Structure 1
C-alpha cells in the first residue's frame, strides 16, 4: 500500500493537481484497491481533524497580520529599522531584514512580509543605487523570517499535527529568527561596503521618534508571547486578542485602517485559511491510511537500522526536508512529514520543540529555492518587468548558503532553540 500511496501522490502532483486534491485522490485509490477500510472512514477523518481549537488560531493570525499591514504598521517599522541600521554599509538591505523580523513578529506569514516590506523598500533601494536584482532578491530572502519569528502560522500547523506546545514553538523561534537575520545582514553589509556609498547620518533622536511611532506595532508580539506564558490565554485566544489589538491600533491609533479594507482582509483570511484547512483535512486522511499500513513504523525501523547516532539522523532529515521544501508548500509538507518523523526523533531523545523549529527553518528555506520558491514569485511582482529567472543570481545563492549555515547551527546547538522556552518555564 505504501507504494500506491506515495507513488500515486507523486504522480498526481506531477500532473499539476493542488496538494490537497492530490492527497485525497492518492488516499482514496489506495484504500479502494488495497485496503478493506471503508471510504466513509476517510471522510470522517477529514472532518474530525478540523475539529481542533488550536486550528482556529490560523485565521485569527491571518486577520491580525492583515489589519496591522493595512493599518500603517509596515512603514513605521521600516522607518524604525532604518533609524537603527540605515547608516551601515548596505544599510537599506539590512533594514529589509530587521524590518522583516519585526513584521514577521506581527503577521506570521512569509508572503505578507515580502509584500508589506518590499512595497516600501524596493523603490527606496533602487533610488539609492542598489542593483534591482540584489534589491528584490534581498526582499525575497527577508520574507522567510515571517515564518520563523513568532507568531508563525507554520508553527501552529506543526503544533496541531504533532501535539507540541505552540507557545514553546513560538518562544523557540526567537533566537533562530534573530540568528538568520544577523547572518543574512552580514552578506548585505559586505555587498553594501563594496557597492554602495552611504550618506545616512545616525541620529539618536530619530531612533526615539521612530520608536515612539512604531511602539504600538512592536508591543503586539510581547502581548502574544507574554499572554501565553503568563497563562492569561492560549495561543488561539492570543490570536483573537491580536485581531482586536490590530483593529484598535489601525483605526484609533494610526487612523489608516478603513472599514472597506477590513472587509477585504476578512475575505482574504477566509480564503487562505480555508485552503490550509483543506490541506489539514486531506493530510489527516492520508496520515490515517499511512498509520493503518504501518508505514511510519516501518520507516522508523529502517532509519534506526541506518544509524544510531542522533547527529547523523538530523543531518539525513535535514537533507530530505531541503528537498521536500523545494517542491512542496510549507504547511502541506509539515502536515505530511511531521507525524512521520516525530516518533522517530523521540526514540533518539531529540526534543520535539527543537525538531519543530529546525523543520520550520528548513522548510522556510524552500520558499526561496527554485523551482517552486513562493517568495521568489511574490518578490518578482514588486517591480514591473522583472521575472523570476532574474532572481536566480549569485545573491540568492549567497543567501541560501548563509541560511543553511544558520540551519546547521540551529540543528546542532539545541540551546539556540530551547534556551528561551526553558527560561520562561
Structure 2
C-alpha cells in the first residue's frame, strides 16, 4: 500500500511539471520517513553525494565535452565531406551521409541529443535545399542520432553499468554490432524512400575527391581509434578514455586551426546543464534506491514474475514491453536510474546476463527517444527542421521499425551482440 502511494505521489508531481529528479528525491525521502523514521534522514546528503561521484560517471561530462569540441573545431564538417565522397553518389545520398556521420559522431559524444543538435543544424537545411521534405529530413536525422546510445561510448550504458554494478567496457563492446546493423537498416529504408520520391544524388563518385577528403579528415579518424582501441585493447577504462577523447579533440581541432571559441563556450554550457540534470537524477535515485531496498520491492517483483514464468524468453518479452512503455514518458537517464535497481534482482534470479540485458534496455530507450510524448531526440530534430512532430512521426515510424527489428534480434539471438564480448573478455 505504501509503495503504491509513493509511486502515485511521484506520478502526480511529474504530471504537474515538477522535475523528475526532485520528485524522485522527495518520494525517496517520504518512503524512508514512513518506513524507518527521522533517524534514516541524517545521512541522506552524504548518500546522495557518494552515489553521484562514482568514478565511472565522470565519463559522462567528458564525452559530452569531447562532442562539443568536435563540433566547434570544424571536425564535423570534414567528416560530412568525407562520407559524402564515399556514398553521396547513391540515390538519396545526403540522407545516407546523415546516417553515416551520425554513426561516427556517436563514437565521440555518446549523446543522441548532442548528435541531433550538431548534425541537424548542418545537414537538415542542406537536405531541404536539395529537395528533401522537412519531415523526412527530421526523421532520418532523429532516428540516426539514436545510434549514439547504441554505439560506444554511450551515456545511458554508463548509467546502466553504474546502476547494475556491471562492466561498462563490456557493454560498449556489446553495442558495436547492433549499432552497425541499425545503421545499415536505416540506410536501406532511406534508399527506398529516395527511390520512391526521386530524391537527388550528390556529385558522382570521384576517386580524387575521395582521396582529398580522406586526407583532410585523417586527423579526425584518430578519435575513435583512441577511444575504442583503448577500451577494447584493455589499455584504459571507459572513464580514462573519456578524458583522452577531450584531449584528442582539442589537439585535432588545434591542428585544423579553426576552433570556434564562442560556439565551444555555448556547447560547453549546454553540456554542463545536461550533465547536471543527469547527476541530479543519479543523486536522487540513491534515496529512492535506499527505500526500495529496505522495503524489498525488487525482491518482491522478482518473486511475483518468477511465480508466473521462469522462461528467460518470456521474462525478456515482459520487460521489453515494460521498457517500451516507460520510454514513451521518461527520458532514458531517468528510466535507467528509476527502474534498473528494481529489475536487476529479477534478471539475476532468471539467469539473464546483465550485459546482454543492458543492451536490451539501451535499445528500448533508443526507441523511446523517437516516440512522443517525451521523444527528446525527435523533438530536437523537429525544432531544427521546423516541422510538425506528428507529421514527422508518420515518416519516422519506418525508421523506428528498423530499431525494433534490431531490438528483437539482439533480445532473442544474444550471440549477435555478445560474440565480441565473449571474444574480448570471456
If the length of structure 2 is used for normalisation, what is the TM-score?
0.95
- Please name the residue that 2:152 is paired with: 150
Q: Partner of 1:24 in structure 2?
A: 25
Q: Which is further off, 338-347 or 324-333?
A: 338-347
Structure-1 separation of matches of 2:221 and 2:423: 22
Displacement of 1:161 in angstroms is 1.2
Describe how 1:3-402 pairs up with structure 2 within 5 A: 3-36=4-37, 38-200=40-202, 201-251=204-254, 253-384=255-386, 386-393=387-394, 395-402=395-402
Provide the rounded CA distance (Å) in 2 between the counterparts of 1:20 and 1:208. 49
Question: Contact (CA 8 Å) 1:78, 1:117: kept in 2 or not?
Answer: no
Q: 1:45 to 1:342 in 2, by over 3 A?
A: same
Q: Residues 168, 126 of structure 1: CA spacing in aligned structure 2 closer, same or farther, 3 A cutoff?
A: same
Q: Distance in 2 between the 1:10 and 1:131 partners?
A: 38
* CA distance in 2 between partners of 1:92 and 1:365 (Å): 23
Report the Cα offset of residue 83 of structure 1: 1.8
1:276 Cα deviation after fit: 0.9
* Of 204-213 and 13-22, the range deviating more from structure 2: 204-213
Structure 1 residues 346 and 212, CA gap change in structure 2 (3 angstroms): farther
Q: Could you list the per-position Cα deviations for residues 291-349 of structure 1 after superposition, in whole angstroms to 9, with x for gaps in the alignment?
A: 10000000000111121110111111010000111100101111111222222222222
2:94–2:201 Cα contact (<8 Å) kept: no
- Report SS of the residue matched to 1:224: helix
| Cα distance per residue 1:52-110 (max 9 Å; x no partner) | 11111111111111111111121222222222222222222122111111111111110
Aligned to 2:362, the other structure's residue is in SS state helix
Q: How big is the shift at 1:262? A: 4.1
Cα displacement (A) at 1:175: 0.6
Q: Separation in 2 of the partners of 1:304 and 1:176?
A: 29
Deviation of 1:258 (Å): 3.7
**1:173-197: per-residue Cα shift (whole Å, max 9, x none)?**
1111111111111111101011125
Match of 2:3 in 1: 2
Question: Are 1:64 and 1:107, in contact at CA under 8 Å, matched by a contact in 2?
Answer: yes
Looking at structure 2, the residues matched to 14 and 34 of structure 1 have their Cα atoms a distance apart, in angstroms, of 26
Distance, in Å, in 2 between the alignment partners of 1:199 and 1:279 is 45
Tell me, in whole angstroms, the C-alpha distance in 2 between the residues paired with 1:94 and 1:260. 30
How far residue 166 of structure 1 moved from its aligned partner, in angstroms, is 1.1
> 8 Å contact 1:4–1:26 — kept in the other structure?
no
C-alpha contact (below 8 Å) 1:106/1:217 kept by paired residues: no
Give the Cα–Cα distance (whole angstroms) in 1 for the partners of residues 223 and 74 of structure 2: 14
User: 1:415 maps to which residue?
Assistant: 415
**Deviation of the 1:216 alpha carbon:** 2.3
Measured in 1, the distance between the counterparts of 2:279 and 2:383 equals 27
In 2: Cα distance, 1:309 partner to 1:91 partner: 45
Aligned pairs, number: 422
Deviation at 1:244, TM superposition (A): 0.7
Cα pair 1:169 1:356 within 8 Å, conserved: yes
Cα RMSD (Å) of the superposition? 1.7
The question of whether the paired residues in 1 share the 8 Å contact of 2:298 and 2:344 is answered with: no
Q: TM-score, with normalisation over the residues of structure 1?
A: 0.95
In structure 2, do the counterparts of structure 1 residues 27 and 248 end up closer, same or farther at CA, with 3 Å as the change threshold? same
Query: How many Å apart are 1:369 and its aligned residue?
Result: 0.3
Distance 1:86 1:17, change over 3 A: same
SS, match of residue 18 in structure 2: coil
Structure 1 SS opposite 2:384: coil
Output the CA distance in 1 between the equivalents of 2:307 and 2:369: 32
Unaligned runs of 5+ in 2: none
Equivalent residue for 2:424?
A: 424
Query: In structure 2, how many angstroms separate the alpha carbons of the residues matched to 1:404 and 1:231?
Result: 32
